[in-house]
């Protein structure tokens, strides 16, 4: 009801502004005759001044004044003719403004609007925001400003903050949701990912504690287990990291989408990948960087040092193949990650720059490479130049 009152007030204001010029029925004329009349009046005043200053005689003054007056009257007659020649505002014009404008507006709204569409709850609108995500976020922020203890609101807006890279706001929203609604694997994982994004991909001590809390609620949570293993890898504990990744690989389904990534980390930490015949869905099994069955069999019989040397050789081979054929997005992902796991950040940064040259950031592949660099703690400044 309030919205209709608002529309009525706006319509009335617009109609009043349109009717105002027509209310008096006067038509202002500013033409050539009006300008001439003004000039002649000025000439009469000038003649009076010259007579008072004895610059002209009385006879000369009278003659000039009579001639100027004659011209002034003539100009006034022409001005009156111009005024009478202009059309006068008709009653139908006022009626059109008063009646047609509101009716046309209502008809247009009924035709292209959605007057019968029911309103939806805040959570439903945020889960399916359409094209007005910024408006919905602003409304939610105003709602939470007046009701900061609405845990459901914080729970809904936190992942939106994370997806739009508002990391500080996402961290605060996840913490508020956990405080008000209690911990859950989804909320804890979201908070951990936010903390890692804030730290440029490093699994900080706080993020690891949050992930461990998530595991106490859901022991088979693959995301939490992966990031905990990654924290061991980043801390320079390859044996513990390999064991954690191997445990995750054994308990993962054979078609798990994260299994190829887990196998890469197992190999980078000196282990033999389990099920290395699995590749990224849609990828070419023979693409550079995918270990063959012979590589896996050879790695199982090697010592840790020899296995690490074999891995370095595979990475260098992948690097050389990408130099020849840079149009291999999956290969660049493997190369950047491989150098990062081998703790060779300079080569990782170089591989990132070369990969971004082949897949610039405006594209989806380029954005994925930049996200991977932030996850691995690789500097991205100047990588796109």
pTM equals 0.44
How high is the mean pLDDT of the chain?
75
Asked if residue 329 has pLDDT above 60, the reply is yes
- Residue 288: which residues within 8 A CB-CB, separation 6 or more? 317, 318, 321, 322, 325, 328, 331, 334
Closest CA to 232 of 223, 244, 248, 217: 244
Tens digits of residue pLDDT in 174-232: 999 999 999 999 999 999 999 998 888 888 999 999 999 999 998 888 889 999 999 99
Tell me the three state secondary structure of residue 346.
helix
Asked if residue 277 has pLDDT above 50, the reply is no
Which 3-state string (H, E, C) describes 34-51? HHHHHHHHHHHHHHHHHH
Domain ranges of the chain: 2-112, 251-385
Q: Which DSSP category does 100 fall into?
A: I
For residues 242 and 268, the answer to whether their CB atoms sit within 8 Å is no
Asked whether the CA dihedral 46, 47, 50, 51 is positive or negative, the reply is: negative
């Amino acid at each position: 009801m309030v919205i209709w009152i608002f529309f009525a007030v706006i319509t009335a204001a617009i109609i009043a502004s349109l009717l105002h010029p027509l209310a008096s029925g006067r038509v202002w004329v500013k033409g050539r005759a009006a300008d001439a009349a003004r000039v002649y009046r000025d000439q009469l005043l000038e003649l009076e001044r010259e007579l008072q200053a004895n610059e002209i005689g009385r006879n000369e003054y009278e003659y000039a004044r009579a001639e100027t007056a004659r011209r002034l009257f003539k100009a006034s007659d022409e001005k009156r003719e111009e005024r009478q020649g202009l059309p006068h505002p008709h009653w139908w014009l006022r009626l059109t403004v008063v009646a047609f404008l509101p009716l046309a507006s209502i008809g247009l709204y009924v035709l292209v609007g959605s007057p019968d569409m029911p309103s939806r709850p805040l959570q439903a609108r945020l889960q399916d925001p359409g094209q007005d995500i910024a408006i919905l976020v602003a409304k939610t922020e105003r709602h939470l400003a007046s009701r900061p203890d609405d845990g459901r609101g914080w729970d809904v807006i936190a992942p939106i903050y994370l997806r739009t890279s508002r990391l500080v706001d996402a961290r605060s929203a996840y913490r508020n949701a956990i405080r008000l609604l209690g911990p859950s694997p989804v909320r804890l994982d979201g908070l951990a990912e936010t903390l890692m994004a804030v730290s440029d991909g490093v699994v900080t001590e706080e993020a690891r504690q949050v992930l461990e809390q998530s595991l106490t609620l859901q022991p088979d949570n693959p995301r939490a287990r992966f990031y905990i293993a990654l924290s061991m890898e980043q801390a320079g504990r390859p044996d513990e990291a390999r064991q954690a990744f191997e445990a995750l690989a054994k308990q993962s389904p054979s078609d798990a989408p994260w299994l190829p990534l887990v196998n890469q980390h197992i190999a980078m930490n000196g282990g033999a990948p389990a099920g290395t015949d699995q590749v990224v869905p849609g990828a070419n099994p023979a693409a550079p960087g995918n270990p063959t069955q012979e590589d896996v069999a050879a790695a199982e019989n090697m010592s840790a040092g020899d296995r690490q040397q074999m891995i370095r050789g595979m990475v260098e081979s992948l690097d050389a193949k990408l130099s020849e054929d840079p149009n291999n997005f999956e290969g660049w992902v493997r190369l950047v990650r491989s150098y990062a796991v081998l703790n060779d950040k300079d080569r990782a940064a170089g591989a990132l720059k070369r990969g971004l040259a082949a897949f610039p950031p405006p594209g989806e592949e380029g954005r994925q490479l930049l996200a991977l660099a932030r996850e691995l703690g690789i500097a991205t400044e100047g990588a796109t130049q």
